[in-house]
Amino acid sequence: MDRSNAMQRLGHRVHHIDLRRLMPQTRWMYRITWKFGGQVFAPWILAALPRAMAGRQYDVCLVDSGEWVTPKIIELIRGYAGRVVNYVIDDPFGARDTARFRAYRRSLEFYDLCVVVRPDNAREAAQAGARRVLRVFMSSDEVTHAPRSLTAADRDQWSSEVLFLGTWFPERGPFLRELIERGVPLSIRGTNWAKAPEWPALRSAWKSGPVIGDDYAKAIQCARVNLGLLSKGNRDLHTTRSLEIPALGGLLCAERTAEHLAMYEEGVEALFWSDAAECAAACMRALGDEPARLALAAAGQRRNIANQIRNENVMSEILTSALAAS
């Protein structure tokens, strides 16, 4: 909803249709999509979508992600929209979600514009037949990721020394275990961590499952250091956390990549590392020098504002490019 809300703040009239509501309401929906591909649900979407769009005409239809959208669904949408655009922040060509994005890859040539967030994806989309490709950065939101006023109760509930807020992936367990072994006072919040082979070593650091909304913002604000881990399966060089943490005034401590280095000055606006040993050392230095830590976090927030990699800017760029498409 953040991107939809951003377009409304830009002055556009937005009609949001959640395709998940048009599909069978089964707890197996995501498992089926991840294992077989979203095209499995196309018959339900094709039957229900005309009712959802009845009596409307749109300048642009923005398909967010697109794992359930097939060429026939795009053909249907064209009866209601002048332009059909796809925007995906996951890696639809990577090894991790190959089955999930089967329908997306089959549909590329039918979109007027395909928007991706990785240089590799821009090249791959063009090779797969996309008519026009726009590469943008992931973005934070001007409202959702604005700092909250914190109460004493908030700080009691959410305070942490070093926080990783995110889902378990296989490469993350060994990394966080090594941080703990090196003495980093780590807190973990997120899903699926009990699946980690390293769970016995991580259990004491795990504080809760997923954290969303105001709680997500407060958890980041109340952490002295926030880890930004990349998804190797998604071939990330930055993630939404790379923007959201500094936007909220948190100190970002993330893997050193070309994209992170383009966003923030290392050691001045954010902390970067290449392995767990370097990450642990950076965390401990920050925790041991509160004035320097606060200065880093404040500088990172100022740079984040100056970069303007936010939803309103990114959505404005996408819409301008979409309407310019011939």
Nearest to 282 by CA among 232, 224, 204: 224
How confident is residue 182, by pLDDT bands cut at 50, 70 and 90?
A: very high
DSSP summary character for residue 12: -
Whether this prediction's pTM lies above 0.85 is answered by yes
How confident is residue 26, by pLDDT bands cut at 50, 70 and 90?
A: confident
Q: Output the pLDDT for position 325.
A: 60
* Interatomic CA distance for residues 76 and 282, integer angstroms: 53
Q: Output the pLDDT for position 25.
A: 86
Q: Output the pLDDT for position 326.
A: 54
Q: Output the pLDDT for position 27.
A: 84
Report domain extents, the chain: 2-139+310-324, 152-307
Section 124-145 average pLDDT: 96
Whether the pLDDT of residue 241 is over 80: the answer is yes
3-state secondary structure of 7: helix
Give the CATH fold of the 2-139+310-324 domain.
Rossmann fold (3.40.50)
Taking residue 47's Cβ as centre, other Cβ atoms within 10 Å add up to: 10
* Interatomic CA distance for residues 164 and 171, integer angstroms: 14
SS (H, E, C) 91-108: CCCCCCCCCCCHHHHHHH
Same fold, 2-139+310-324 and 152-307: yes
Tokens representing 257? 């990549």
More confident residue, 280 or 29: 280
* Contact assessment for residue 249 and residue 98, using Cβ atoms and an 8 Å cutoff: no
* Contact assessment for residue 168 and residue 192, using Cβ atoms and an 8 Å cutoff: yes
Question: How many Cα atoms occupy the beta-carbon half-sphere of 306 within 13 Å?
Answer: 11
**CATH tag for 152-307 (out of 3.40.50.2300, 3.40.50.2000, 3.40.50.300, 3.40.30.10):** 3.40.50.2000
CB burial class (10 A; 0-12, 13-18, 19+) of residue 31?
exposed
What is the pLDDT of the chain when averaged over all its residues? 95
More confident residue, 61 or 30: 61
Nearest to 217 by CA among 166, 144, 152, 153: 144
Q: Output the pLDDT for position 96.
A: 85
What own/partner pairs with CB < 8 Å and gap ≥ 24 does 301-306 have?
301/246, 301/247, 301/248, 301/249, 302/269, 303/246, 303/263, 303/264, 303/265, 303/269, 304/140, 304/243, 304/246, 304/247, 304/263, 304/264, 305/247
DSSP codes joined into one string, 105-133: HHHGGGSSEEEESSHHHHHHHHHTT-S-E
